[in-house]
């Protein structure tokens, strides 16, 4: 772990890591270099935040882990990724889901023409036809998200944004994950809902033992729930540390917690890109 | 009135065939965004394979050897296996390599596939017109003819019945099974489908296999009526107007669209000339037989008119917009 600068004190107490990302470089379309050596670690049972402005490379990092990158013509060209001790950087998403690592994509991505319950059931796809267990897990998801039970037969396209986020998380839960990669669950939601969803994630972490890697722009919220955080800028980790320390760090305060207005502006120079219309995009 | 009924019914029965071809297109289009130009050739190829197996033709030599002739209950499943192998090859050698390519590249590859498959059918089974004999009933339906004076070919009703069973089967498959749900998920949002661990490759193989079975049914039923020959692959051209009418992504649309085209075509053929004469006959001398060869163009005219008023098709998928 060349890049993970941890104080010796915390390192000694850290449980074994479930996910290790070691110095990865990601290139899209063979030419666009987006991640320039990112390393991070998620301890077993931990909640780790991946912070950074829009375009910093958070989603790319998560997609590199889940290998959704492949379908976007992205590629991990350097470094490696280990999940539960096994190298997974050349594994398909299908394989990773079977191993227990699943991503909840940015923007929720529910199946709009399927009902909420059908959405949840697609999450159990990799588990084959184990009907009894799947049915039990469906009930489990409904105990965490009682609202979804009420809306179980509505088309996912017609429910509210908060309910869609719950559906997306519930769907992932149906795969019986040990690790969830959550990509900006707070996006576009009212603060109260964000809190409700983060509380549920916390419960899932505590009760179901799901480890969480949480990509967020909502730094304030994320650092409340995570134990550790990494800050990405332009495809590099520029800072990392325990959440409590990051919250007190003057730079983080200035740039990410919005305490100084000037600083915020300099991080708003969002790079935009245009993609050509492609098949499956 | 009776004659009108007869016209409508025979239009509906012809429409069933158009629906079937369109259905093959829609399935593949929904699941993979590919316009399967080869659907018609697939119908031809499947039918050729079935006839070949039924009559014990040795591939490449085109010589019938009755000793190898298989009964239908062996030949049909075996043909389905051949179509599944075809689906696997398409995934392995085409689709897999085209992920994220532009639409035009996909389209060209499908045009190429159509020609390759057509050639393969030719080389394997020969290009002469073949007769398929599955013991399907021939001639008119007597009780309809005697009781109501309606002339309906038995084989057309069998064809329609087969199509209904096939569609019902597909509907259950899509709505009730795990794989069917996954297929709909892929059609809705392929990225999300990937993210929950659905493997697009296996979904593509399944959907192409299903389209292969639909093609087999189309080929057999059509072939039983008019022989199995190259022109069978041209029914694909009929599917395009059906798709414009029904919407590229809608299964009910494909079915209803096919029926509308079928009926419209027949009505135009029978009454079109009279109507034209009634309207313009005052000013011009018009041959009432003008509409007797509508088959090739009427569907396209109907589709064009439709494009003007409802470009998303009859049942074009509603885009859900949320506030
Ligand atoms: N499919 C893609 N092709 C090319 N560039 C991409 C693609 N996806 C993301 N990028 C670029 O990678 C950078 C990081 O994007 P992303 O990982 O989505 O950031 P974040 O999630 O932190 O907002 C951005 O500059 C973006 O333009
Ligand atoms: Mg992002």
Q: Which atom of ligand 1 is nearest to the CA of A62?
A: 17
Residue with CA nearest ligand 1 atom 4: A28
* Strands across the sheet containing A32-43: A32-43, A17-28, A74-83, A86-87
Instruction: Say yes or no for a CB contact (<8 Å) between A114 and B184.
Output: yes
**Average pLDDT of chain B, as a whole number:** 85
Cα–Cα nearest to B53, from B31, B75, B21? B75
Distance CA A30, CA B248 (A): 33
Nearest CA in chain A to B322: A158
Of B102, B103, B191, the CB nearest to A109: B191
| Domain ranges for chain B | 2-309
Residue of B nearest to A72 (CA): B100
Is B178 in Cβ contact with A105 (below 8 Å)?
A: no
Could you tell me if A229 and A240 are in contact, meaning their C-beta atoms sit under 8 angstroms apart? yes
Q: Angle A194-A182-A163 (CA atoms, 0-180°, nearest 5)?
A: 45
Cα–Cα distances in angstroms (integers) from residue A243 to residues A10, A51, A217, A246, B98, in the given order: 12, 11, 15, 5, 44
Chain A CA closest to residue B32:
A280
Q: For residue A267, what are the contacts with CB-CB under 8 A and spacing of at least 6?
A: A53, A255, A256
User: Out of B98, B101, B185, whose CB is closest to A111?
Assistant: B185
Strands A101-104 and A47-51, bridge-based pairing: unpaired
Q: Which residues pair with A242 in a beta bridge?
A: A228
Structure tokens at B2: 């009776």
- Please return the burial class of A100, using the count of CB atoms within 10 Å of its CB with bins 0-12, 13-18 and 19+: middle
Distance CA A77, CA A69 (A): 12
Q: How far is the CA of B49 from the centre of ligand 1 (A)?
A: 49
Q: Which of A111, A121, A155 sits opposite B189 (nearest CB)?
A: A111
Of A126, A158, A175, the CB nearest to B320: A158
Q: Please list the helix, strand and coil fractions of chain A in percent, rounded to the nearest 5, in that order.
A: 40, 25, 35
What does the pLDDT average to over B129-153? 77
| Cβ contacts of A123 on chain B, cutoff 8 Å | 196
In tens, the pLDDT along B25-71 reads: 888 888 888 888 899 999 999 999 999 999 888 888 888 888 888 89
Mean pLDDT, chain A, whole residue set: 88
pLDDT tens digits, one per residue of A76-122: 999 999 999 999 988 999 999 999 999 999 999 999 999 999 999 99
Cα–Cα distance measured from residue B206 to residue B98, given in angstroms and rounded to the nearest whole number: 18
Distance from the alpha carbon of residue A55 to the mean position of ligand 2, in angstroms: 7
For helices A161-173 and A191-207, angle between their N-to-C axes, nearest 10 degrees = 10
Q: What is the pLDDT of residues B175-203, one digit of tens each?
A: 889 999 999 999 889 999 999 999 989 99
The answer to whether the Cβ–Cβ distance between A113 and B188 falls below 8 Å is yes
Closest-lying ligand 1 atom to the alpha carbon of residue A52? 22
How many Cβ pairs within 8 Å bridge chains A and B? 108
DSSP A94-157: HHHHHHTEEEE-TT----TTSBHHHHHHHTTGGGTT-HHHHHHHHHHHHHH-HHHHHTTTSBGG
For the ranges A144-158, B124-138, B168-182, the maximum mean pLDDT occurs at A144-158
| Residue-wise pLDDT tens digits, A16-61 | 899 999 999 999 999 999 999 999 999 999 999 999 999 999 999 9
Which of A25, A60, A274 for a ligand 1 pocket mutation test, highest count of atoms within 8 Å of Cβ?
A: A60
- Tell me which residue of B320, B298, B313, B273 sits closest to B26, measured CA to CA: B313
Half-sphere exposure of B159 (CA within 13 A, CB side): 28
Report how far ligand 1's centroid is from the alpha carbon of B162 (Å).
50
Looking at CA atoms only, how far is residue B206 from chain A in angstroms?
Answer: 15
Which residues in chain A touch residue B33, judged by CB atoms under 8 angstroms apart? 279-280
Q: Which atom of ligand 1 is nearest to the CA of A271?
A: 25
Instruction: Please check whether residue B91 is in contact with residue B85, taking contact to mean a CB–CB distance below 8 angstroms.
Output: no
ipTM for this model: 0.84
Given a cut of 60, is residue B121 above it in pLDDT? yes
Give the pLDDT mean for A202-225: 95
What residues are paired with A238 via a beta bridge?
A: none
**Contact assignment for B196 to A171 by CB distance below 8 Å:** yes
Q: Which residues line ligand 1 (CB under 6 A)?
A: A 28-29, 32, 34, 52, 54-60, 72, 271, 273, 275
Residues on A contacting B at a C-beta cutoff of 8 Å? 66, 68, 71-73, 92-94, 96-98, 102-105, 109-114, 118, 121-123, 125-126, 128-129, 155, 157-158, 161, 171-172, 175, 276-281
Which pLDDT score is estimated for A19? Answer: 97
Query: Which pLDDT score is estimated for B295?
Result: 67
pLDDT at residue A14 is higher than 60: no
Q: What is the pTM of this model?
A: 0.83
Residue in A closest to B320 by C-alpha:
A157
Beta-carbon separation of A111 and B188 below 8 A: yes
Which of B99, B181, B195 is nearest residue A121 as measured by Cβ atoms? B181
Q: CA-to-CA distance for A129 and B170, rounded, in angstroms? A: 19
Which pLDDT score is estimated for B316? Answer: 59
pLDDT of A268 higher than 50? no
Q: Which residues of B touch A71 (CB under 8 A)?
A: 99-100, 190-191, 194, 200
By C-alpha distance, the chain A residue nearest B184 is: A114
Which phi-psi region, left, alpha or beta, contains residue A188 (left: φ > 0; alpha: ψ -120 to 50)?
left
Atom of ligand 1 nearest to the CA of A272: 27
pLDDT of the residue at B140: 77
CA A65 to ligand 1 center in whole angstroms: 15
Smallest Cα distance from B245 to chain A, Å: 21
Residue A176: is its pLDDT beyond 70? Answer: yes
User: A59 CA distance to ligand 1 centroid (A)?
Assistant: 7
* pLDDT score for A1: 41
User: Which residues of B have a CB under 8 Å from any CB of A?
Assistant: 33-34, 98-103, 105-106, 178, 181-182, 184-185, 187-200, 317, 320, 322
Sheet containing A179-183: which strands, arranged edge to edge? Answer: A101-104, A179-183, A211-216, A47-51, A228-233, A236-242
- Model confidence pLDDT, tens digit, residues B242-296: 888 888 888 888 889 999 999 988 888 888 777 878 887 778 777 767 666 666 7
Locate the ligand 1 atom nearest the alpha carbon of residue A106 and give its number.
21
């Amino acid at each position: 772990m060349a890049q993970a600068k941890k104080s010796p004190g915390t390192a000694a107490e850290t449980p074994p890591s479930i996910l290790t990302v070691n110095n990865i470089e990601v290139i899209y379309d063979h030419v666009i270099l987006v991640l320039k050596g990112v390393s991070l670690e998620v301890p077993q049972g931990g909640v780790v935040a991946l912070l950074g402005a829009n375009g910093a490379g958070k989603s790319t990092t998560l997609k590199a882990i889940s290998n959704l990158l492949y379908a976007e013509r992205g590629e991990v060209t350097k470094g490696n990724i280990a999940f539960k001790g096994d190298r997974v950087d050349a594994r398909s998403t299908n394989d990773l889901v079977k191993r227990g690592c699943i991503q909840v994509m940015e923007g929720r991505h529910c199946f709009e023409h399927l009902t909420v319950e059908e959405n949840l059931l697609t999450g159990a796809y990799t588990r084959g036809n184990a009907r009894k267990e799947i049915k039990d897990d469906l009930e489990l998801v409904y105990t965490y998200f009682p609202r979804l039970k009420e809306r179980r037969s509505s088309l996912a396209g017609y429910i509210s944004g908060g309910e869609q986020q719950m559906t997306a998380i519930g769907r992932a839960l149906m795969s019986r994950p040990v690790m969830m990669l959550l990509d900006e669950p707070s996006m576009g939601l009212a603060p109260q809902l964000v809190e409700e969803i983060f509380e549920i994630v916390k419960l899932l972490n505590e009760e179901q033992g799901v480890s969480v890697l949480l990509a967020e722009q909502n730094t304030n919220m994320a650092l409340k729930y995570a134990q550790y955080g990494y800050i990405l800028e332009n495809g590099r980790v520029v800072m990392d540390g325990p959440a409590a320390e990051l919250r007190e760090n003057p730079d983080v305060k200035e740039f990410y917690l919005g305490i100084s207005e000037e600083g915020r502006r300099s991080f708003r120079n969002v790079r935009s890109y245009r993609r050509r219309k492609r098949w499956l995009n | 009135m009776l004659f009108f009924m007869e016209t409508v019914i025979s239009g509906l029965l012809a429409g069933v065939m158009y629906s079937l071809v369109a259905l093959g297109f829609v399935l593949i289009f929904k699941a993979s965004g590919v316009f399967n130009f080869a659907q018609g050739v697939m119908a031809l190829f499947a039918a050729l394979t079935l006839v070949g197996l039924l009559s014990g033709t040795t591939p490449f030599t085109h010589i019938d050897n009755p000793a190898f002739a298989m009964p239908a209950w062996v030949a049909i499943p075996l043909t389905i296996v051949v179509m599944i192998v075809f689906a696997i090859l398409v995934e392995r050698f085409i689709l897999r390599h085209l992920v994220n390519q532009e639409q035009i590249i996909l389209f060209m590859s499908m045009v190429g596939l159509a020609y390759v498959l057509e050639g393969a059918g030719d080389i394997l089974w020969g290009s002469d017109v073949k007769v398929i004999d599955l013991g399907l009933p021939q001639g008119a339906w007597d009780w309809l003819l005697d009781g109501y004076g309606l002339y309906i070919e038995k084989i057309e009703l069998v064809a329609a019945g087969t199509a209904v069973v096939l569609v019902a089967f597909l509907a259950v498959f899509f709505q009730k099974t795990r794989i069917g749900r996954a297929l709909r998920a892929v059609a809705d949002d392929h990225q999300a489908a990937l993210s929950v661990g659905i493997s697009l490759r296996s979904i593509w193989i399944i959907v192409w296999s299903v389209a292969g079975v639909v093609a087999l049914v189309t080929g057999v039923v059509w072939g039983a009526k008019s022989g199995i020959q190259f022109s069978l692959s041209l029914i694909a051209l009929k599917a395009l107007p059906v798709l414009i009418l029904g919407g590229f992504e809608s299964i009910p649309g494909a079915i209803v669209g096919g029926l509308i085209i079928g009926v419209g075509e027949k009505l135009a053929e029978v009454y079109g000339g009279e109507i034209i004469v009634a309207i313009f006959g005052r000013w011009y001398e018009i041959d009432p037989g003008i509409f007797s060869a509508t088959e090739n163009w009427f569907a396209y005219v109907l589709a064009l008119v439709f494009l003007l008023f409802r470009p998303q098709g009859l049942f074009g998928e509603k885009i859900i917009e949320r506030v």
